[in-house]
Structure 1
């Protein structure tokens, strides 16, 4: 019985070690957030035709490379808000220049803002000088209906004019217009809220003498595979919701889509009335969201020759009678995946399950409530580090009734340790005899050794859920605690090499194996707290197990040096609370643990009491 439980605990711990070793040794280096630069409206960069993409189907958007290069640079309409800064290109009327003004690349005060969208129109020199990313933009247009020439509908290369508004800002919409010269006028109105939601209204006014058929669409195009975290617990790539079903496709999966006749490499989803589709990074996202209740076709595709990844929202074909007008309204989210902001868009305008664009993982039933509790505590306390500590207290309180039984069982097993040693001495190498007598001892003393596994089994899903929360939620990004811990989503930057900042030289890059080996301060606190906690548990009788358990705290100390400091802070706090709880309960049952020596009983054990009574 003892061996079975020991093996269970050992297997659990070894599983942790496998994950930790993989993460520390084989996981890729974390990449920085997307590069940034000055908005193009300030830089004066001209527009050129978009790179080629794959046309899709008979009712598909026009080829993005259909236009000739303009002889002169075209104008831009500036975007200004408290959250965004950038511009709209009049070539295609596309949003292709966007920076997130609330977020910087690094913690340095002079660090540039994070750039989200970047045009394809910049030259190679301009892209380097302005520090632009690979082209990444949102473009809208119309697909011609039966009998309508493609030249009579606006596409990605159409040159628009500004009809109203000079700067897109909250409460200040901008309208672009294009007249096809055949009696039809197309308008595109952009509106912006205080955060990251654009409202895009595409209208078609038919002043001609005959009916006119066309279908509006929206495209998000991404040239080349972006730099991603490439970490197994994080989804980066296409994300969408198709009538209540979450769709996730990584870039390698998009490029590997089976070719479909006239569709290129594409996946097509018919959406009945509630859905959205786009690209997600670790912290940022760009998503097309048709108005709730609007049926549309969601398309994910890859242009192999041009190396372009696309998501599309195609609306049904519409026929506009002479003297009438058609308007199609949709939304474009382009910004940071802030939980509170995204959740607000679920309520208004009603984007279904939009909060699931955050990668909550397999333990979503734990990850979501843990994050919501952490978010609430942060709002109450005002510091994310102290909120993590408070969260640990709350979680420990919730599981304390079960943990209490475990601690009592451990106290009893500590009491029985001398008798188990006697049984081992009598049994010698006879394992069957040893197991039988130990089982009889447990039964006689009414001890359940399996109860000691309960805290570990409870801790595993909580640990991984909190790890997921700290790793994927932007609320932890660059969130400080105090002192040298200024980013709880990053590893502890301190190091023994420079005596924790006392010596005037740098340390190995955070998150690397070398940095983990230089013993960050939080990692040392973790190792010591694990060692103290281990002293409270019954020692294994098997020498091999005893050696493994003796080394465990120090192995974890080195391994977890590269983990996010917020996660290590949680684990250290959890260990300290466990030590206090277990020490208190064991003391109540007659044991005063001595961390620097042997466990000594302050009260006579029950075994000795029975012997005294027998005399």
Structure 2
């Protein structure tokens, strides 16, 4: 088996598979959206879906609620949030440290409410003692419309109060932490009546159904996901939400909305029973949420129920703090078992060199170094196979069309010469999963977003703006092809196709993230050096 031919062919199959995968995704045109920003004077009408306490499925029932004239603004070192006093929903969340565009000051906005697009986080209380129902939602009173975490403080609390007609006092408290993207949302219920109250907290994420920004070389996911005690991580696409409402009873769990690099998620207490549900409003708005267990507040007593809401980047460490499985939203696919150690190795290298491009290069050296003994065995086996070609031809002439005798004679010859005809396959089969796993690591790791390398490469998560790396990669593949002698028995048409493979892959890599092309280019350079070293050793042994 010819090494270079098989590397290129298997790589082509892998790239073709990724293209086919993306071709299967929904290609519906994106709705036209007018870019506007939610402000504290927003008076637009918000469509709030509140779960009906009597619904067995926990599916929200839609009703319109007029937004407050003044939204409550909360600023920390990581978040810039707007909260609607009507219902206490988070209707806007900007990530201060993550910019919309590299080199610009505008923050990346994850949650927002604007014409043509809604993406908000809602929560409330239902049940006999709840204040959120199909009839309406409470308007909370807030001491101020501006809250900002002060220097030296590690937490910031934003209390919002509402007193029901029966005298029961409800306090909705948002707790923000320094350096964190998770928000603790608690309800304190002060039962001033003489009768027990039953309350259930719900939390849901609501988003206008919108296609992903992915393309063939960047097959990213946009949609919902959830976790239960039985299912650690499951995507629930917008199409699935439209076709069937989700209804999962579980202990713990979480619900989320995902997009490339970023996630919003409700994480209820892990020790309580929850209902995971989904619904669609007007065929254009997808909801996924949880409904907590019913708690009873005795007369004259105060009780607290709550949950965590995360809105930020797919930071695996931060997500793992909230749930053992929430980090799975960084989706590496079927090769997660290989991608996770690669990601950890990349983080380890970056902790020393401080540059993600150099970390990728170090990963390349590490992988190629580990595979070098196998690579040497591969080339040795190939050289022995070439030297056996005259003997193989003699066997063909002797046995003609008798395949059984021919096969037996060849196996005896392989055994006598100590040659494994499959010896050239193993390193190739190991390299391709590593390539694909690293592809997903580079695609999913938010750390590489806007991460510069050097010179003209200012963002390793996007394609090379000048296509220098793809072209250099094509040149390196051409050199490798020239170093690898073609088999004299290769079909002329196949040999001609092989000559065009570097060109084909150069075109493919034009749209790949520059970090991935950098890995492939450095791998080729290391492979060329290894080939020269191995060939020199084989020549000394008399093997051509």
> TM over 0.5, yes or no?
yes
1:178 to 162, 175, 182: 162
Larger CA Rg, structure 1 vs 2: 1
Distance apart, 1:158 and its partner CA: 2.1
The CA distance in 2 between the partners of 1:604 and 1:369, in whole Å, is 40
TM-score of the pair, normalised by structure 2: 0.86
* Aligned 1:28-39 pairs, distance under 5 A: none
TM-score of the pair, normalised by structure 1: 0.77
- Superposed CA deviations along residues 508-544 of structure 1, whole A, max 9, x for unmatched, are xxxxxxxxxxxx2212221222222233434221223
* Aligned 1:393-542 pairs, distance under 5 A: 393-416=365-388, 419=390, 442-494=414-466, 520-540=467-487, 541-542=489-490
Equivalent residue for 1:506? none
Does the 8 A contact of 1:39 with 1:98 survive in 2? Answer: no
The CA distance in 1 between the partners of 2:135 and 2:112, in whole Å, is 19
SS of equivalent to 2:287: strand
Equivalent residue for 1:329? 306
**Residue 582 in structure 1 maps to residue 541 in structure 2:** no
**Residue 40 in structure 1 maps to residue 39 in structure 2:** yes
Equivalent residue for 2:126? 143
1:212 to 156, 172, 197: 197
Distance apart, 1:410 and its partner CA: 2.8
Distance apart, 1:177 and its partner CA: 0.6
Distance apart, 1:409 and its partner CA: 1.8
Residues 20 and 366 from structure 1, CA distance in 2 versus in 1: closer, same or farther, beyond 3 angstroms? closer
Distance apart, 1:357 and its partner CA: 1.7
- Superposed CA deviations along residues 243-266 of structure 1, whole A, max 9, x for unmatched, are 252221111111111xxxxxxxx2
- Superposed CA deviations along residues 48-104 of structure 1, whole A, max 9, x for unmatched, are 34256785753648745254x47xx52222111121113111121111111111222
The CA distance in 2 between the partners of 1:492 and 1:195, in whole Å, is 32
1:559 to 488, 508, 526: 508
Does the 8 A contact of 1:83 with 1:102 survive in 2? Answer: yes
**Residue 225 in structure 1 maps to residue 210 in structure 2:** yes
The CA distance in 2 between the partners of 1:80 and 1:549, in whole Å, is 58
SS of equivalent to 1:576: helix
- Superposed CA deviations along residues 236-295 of structure 1, whole A, max 9, x for unmatched, are 3112221252221111111111xxxxxxxx2111122x3111211111111110123122
Does the 8 A contact of 2:22 with 2:215 survive in 1? Answer: no
**Residue 388 in structure 1 maps to residue 386 in structure 2:** no
The CA distance in 1 between the partners of 2:427 and 2:126, in whole Å, is 60
Does the 8 A contact of 1:142 with 1:214 survive in 2? Answer: yes
Equivalent residue for 1:609? none
Distance apart, 1:411 and its partner CA: 3.5
The CA distance in 1 between the partners of 2:468 and 2:23, in whole Å, is 21
The CA distance in 1 between the partners of 2:211 and 2:297, in whole Å, is 40
The CA distance in 1 between the partners of 2:514 and 2:160, in whole Å, is 48
**Residue 86 in structure 1 maps to residue 81 in structure 2:** yes
**Residue 292 in structure 1 maps to residue 270 in structure 2:** yes
- Superposed CA deviations along residues 553-576 of structure 1, whole A, max 9, x for unmatched, are 222222222211111111111111
The CA distance in 2 between the partners of 1:250 and 1:276, in whole Å, is 16
Does the 8 A contact of 1:290 with 1:329 survive in 2? Answer: yes
Equivalent residue for 2:240? 253
Residues 324 and 166 from structure 1, CA distance in 2 versus in 1: closer, same or farther, beyond 3 angstroms? farther
Structure 1: unaligned runs, 5 residues or longer: 128-132, 258-265, 495-519, 592-602, 607-615
The CA distance in 2 between the partners of 1:383 and 1:392, in whole Å, is 14
* Aligned 1:544-555 pairs, distance under 5 A: 544-555=493-504
SS of equivalent to 1:463: helix
SS of equivalent to 2:63: coil
Distance apart, 1:228 and its partner CA: 4.1
The CA distance in 2 between the partners of 1:48 and 1:411, in whole Å, is 74
Residues 579 and 154 from structure 1, CA distance in 2 versus in 1: closer, same or farther, beyond 3 angstroms? same
SS of equivalent to 1:172: strand
From the two aligned structures, give the one with the greater strand fraction: 2
Residues 190 and 36 from structure 1, CA distance in 2 versus in 1: closer, same or farther, beyond 3 angstroms? farther
Residues 62 and 450 from structure 1, CA distance in 2 versus in 1: closer, same or farther, beyond 3 angstroms? closer
1:98 to 86, 93, 108: 93
- Superposed CA deviations along residues 419-463 of structure 1, whole A, max 9, x for unmatched, are 379759978997969988876664553322311122211111101
Equivalent residue for 1:239? 225
Residues 490 and 280 from structure 1, CA distance in 2 versus in 1: closer, same or farther, beyond 3 angstroms? same
Does the 8 A contact of 1:373 with 1:391 survive in 2? Answer: yes
Does the 8 A contact of 2:158 with 2:173 survive in 1? Answer: yes
**Residue 157 in structure 1 maps to residue 146 in structure 2:** no
Structure 2: unaligned runs, 5 residues or longer: none
Indicate the RMSD between aligned Cα atoms, in angstroms.
3.6
Q: Aligned pair count?
A: 530
Equivalent residue for 2:284? 307
Equivalent residue for 2:13? 15
The CA distance in 1 between the partners of 2:286 and 2:494, in whole Å, is 52
Mean Cα deviation higher: 179-188 or 217-226 = 217-226
Residues 483 and 415 from structure 1, CA distance in 2 versus in 1: closer, same or farther, beyond 3 angstroms? farther
